[in-house]
A and B are shown apart, each in its own frame.
Chain A
């Protein structure tokens, strides 16, 4: 959803940029002296300056509270902790109590908060979770010597896929894992 909104916004703004460029560059407009044109441009620039500053402040205020980082205070307690280790070129997921296994597949509970404690045994990897529709729903880096905590609640049961999204060597593109949520 976020990706779609961001992509559509970028498309609309790009079209607006091209439209403005076409308007400004129209050769048919009668020529003006430099000072007359400058005064028009400066007037618009002052309004734009206020607009972009306000827009930046509003967007910062709206988006910064929505970051995916675990909060130190008032943080929701995870229902299940899963230890994740990336290693050239496979993933090992070791769940604590609360997870199940079906046909050799890891099964995580739906509508519960899962904490993935993600690290790496060798190089940098990226633990990226895709749903069945192919949407990237959560991700975090797997870095040696560090543990990154990713909290996620799977609201939709189904089959999920893990791809590596940090380049990690010649078989990077084949570093996958699959699990179910029920």
Chain B
């Protein structure tokens, strides 16, 4: 297959993702709004449905973010490497199947143990969800895991086949003189550093966890260790979310120079930074277990150390890299670079709030309060996803800059207002994952919980309006391009 045909083929697969992701995201945002509105007392959702919605929202957002990033990076890497198209299509089809299974399990079966399926809650539903919903959810997650594992393995294979393992990880920058070096584009290095070791390792960890759950589903008497499984689930979930972030950054590294007009190349510092991340990302998840005092204290310290140190390469290389791209470049603030740079700002703010919470003594006051959703919603909603919307806009060929920017500013205003309420809630000790606050015996805490949820709901409506505008522009661009393509194809 020649380059042009491969380019068209990978574009077709990516197009399916670009049509699907905004719809999925919007539905998941509406589920989030439903939860905040229920916490505010505006609507009244039964607790079993609330927690099922919470589970679908969490699993859906993490999964959508990751798979959209993987698909986007695979498309951008087409300039350098070729993936197996059968696997690329399989990843799409299996993901759709897995999502359908999860939607049925959660919304019809009321499966609601939270995204993290913390053992042994999925197996002790107390009548909240039937056995079939548990089985369907676990099988759907296994299907998703298989799809994403295949995608990552194939992408890694393609990178290693073209560049070699050590070159893809840019180790040559540590030893060889520039004349002898094969230039490694940053997108190749980041994808290799994110997918090759942490991505595949944690997806395998997730697979082992889910297979154990499947065994337990078949044989309920099987006893598993709750602390070990808690470590496994956070290694999987935490790392997956971090890798998603890196996939977003890979898109920025690849596309921002197109707008700034400045090169952004790999050098020894960039190589060292991303190779350090490769190790640190696998160790930071211990900070999720700080309040498990039975966990060895040395692992708790490693959690804080890894969380702190991971901020060093991230800010020193990537943030200063972006500053180097933008500062006095004379760049026009078109929609795509605006999305990328706002995304970087959101990532840094959310990242700082995360580092604050990764301090054990601070976590003692913040653990499982609203501070936790505050920081991860920041680096997702106004961090990673803004980078993704930049890529989607670029891919769609949309040309409604003013309208797209109006949508973007509505998203940013709505999102930051929404997030501020999470942060305030966290500072006041408002518990996370509460269906409603009426049963909190402390009147002052119940009041601040409901008020922040009410204001957050209003901002979330603003966010939804902004998203509708933004996605409308992207869809119109896609439709125009599809129409133009068809017209071109039928024109003799």
Contacts and interface: CB of A to CB of B under 8 A. Distances in A.
Contacts of B361: 2, 63, 66-68
A52 B309 CA distance: 9
B226 A124 contact: yes
B189 to A, nearest CB: 19
Nearest to B292: A141
Contacts of B226: 124, 143-146
A90 to B, nearest CB: 13
Interface stretch (A25-33, A91-99, A100-108): A25-33
Interface in A41-68: 41-42, 44-45, 48-49, 52-53, 56, 59-60, 63-64, 66-68
A6 B433 contact: no
Interface in B397-429: 423, 426-429
Given A140-B293, A143-B227, A34 B262 contact: yes
Interface string A144-174: 1111111000000000010101111111111
A38 interface: yes
B304 interface: yes
Contacts of B315: 48, 52
A105 to B, nearest CB: 13
Interface string B350-371: 0011001101111011111101
B333 interface: yes
Contacts of B305: 60
A139 B444 CA distance: 19
Interface in B307-365: 308-309, 311-312, 315-316, 320, 323-324, 326-330, 333, 341, 344-345, 348-349, 352-353, 356-357, 359-362, 364-365
A111 interface: no
A148 B292 contact: yes
A56 B309 contact: yes
Contacts of A169: 51, 113, 121, 124-126, 128
B289 to A, nearest CB: 8
A116 B330 CA distance: 61
Interface string B267-304: 00000000000000000000000011110010011001
B361 to A, nearest CB: 5
A110 B367 CA distance: 25
B441 interface: yes
A67 B437 contact: no
A173 B437 contact: yes
A169 B47 CA distance: 9
Nearest to A168: B121
Contacts of B124: 88, 122-123, 169
Contact of A161 (B309, B426, B433, B441): B441
B114 A167 contact: yes
A178 B47 CA distance: 23
Interface string B111-138: 0111000101100111010000000000
Q: A25, A66, A171 — which one has the most chain B CB atoms within 10 A of its CB?
A: A25
B434 to A, nearest CB: 4
Closest 8 CB pairs of A and B: A31-B330, A136-B429, A7-B427, A32-B328, A148-B293, A173-B434, A174-B439, A165-B368
